[in-house]
Amino acid sequence: MGETEKTTEKILAVCSPFKQEGVVVALREMKERQTRGVSSKMIDGADVHCFHSWSSTFWQCLRYCLVGAANTLIDVLILSVLLWRFPTNTVQTLVVYNSLAYTGGAASSFFLNKYWTFRRWQRPTSREVGRFVINMCLELLSSNGLVWLIGNALHPFIANAMLWGNATKLLAVAGNAVLSYLIMRFWVFASGSQNRPKN
């Protein structure tokens, strides 16, 4: 109870025995207004917290997308250089190139997502690194599976090796984006017992 509420209670206690109805009624109304004000502040605080939570999640997802775009750019650039330097028309070689390119993009992914997207400022833990490596292996398997399927499907329609390889890669990237976010958000960089600073 605040000082104003304590004072109001004391005045009510003193005035009630003397039957000073006007003062008692006025003080009771004042107390009710104060109580309503406190509860409305609590409700407003809950609304602000809920909005902050949604806003924070939105910005985190946006940062994740920007990091993903940078990693994809690195990934596609490496793949394009490989396709330009060593052209191929076989899906098996494209899968090998995809693995090399994906590993290049993943190298920057860990640090950008850790420190910027999910705001984990402490040194990398073995748990985070281990989970990230497992996540990257799963994503690489998924990406290579999609590259294999999409590459075989597009091969009869696209004769140019660079266009075929990059079209295949971009479609595979789109398929992996959601999977990657969910795994990183809820497993690799999950809140757990770690302290996370506010935005």
Could you list the residue range(s) of the whole structural domain that residue 112 is in?
A: 54-188
Instruction: Establish if 133 belongs to a structural domain.
Output: yes
Instruction: Establish if 45 belongs to a structural domain.
Output: no
What pLDDT, on a 0 to 100 scale, did the predictor assign at position 80?
A: 94
**Domain total in the chain:** 1
Rg of the chain, C-alpha, whole Å = 30
Taking only the tens place, the pLDDT of each residue in 110-149 is 889 888 988 888 888 899 889 889 988 988 999 999 999 9
What average pLDDT is seen over the chain?
A: 78
Instruction: Establish if 26 belongs to a structural domain.
Output: no
Instruction: Establish if 4 belongs to a structural domain.
Output: no
Cα four-point dihedral sign 104, 148, 129, 67 = positive
| pLDDT of 75 over the 80 cut | yes
Count of C-beta atoms within a 10 Å radius of residue 169: 26
Q: pTM, whole model, 2 decimals? A: 0.60
Instruction: Establish if 142 belongs to a structural domain.
Output: yes
Taking only the tens place, the pLDDT of each residue in 141-170 is 999 999 999 999 999 999 898 999 999 998
Average pLDDT over residues 6-27: 52
| pLDDT of 193 over the 50 cut | no
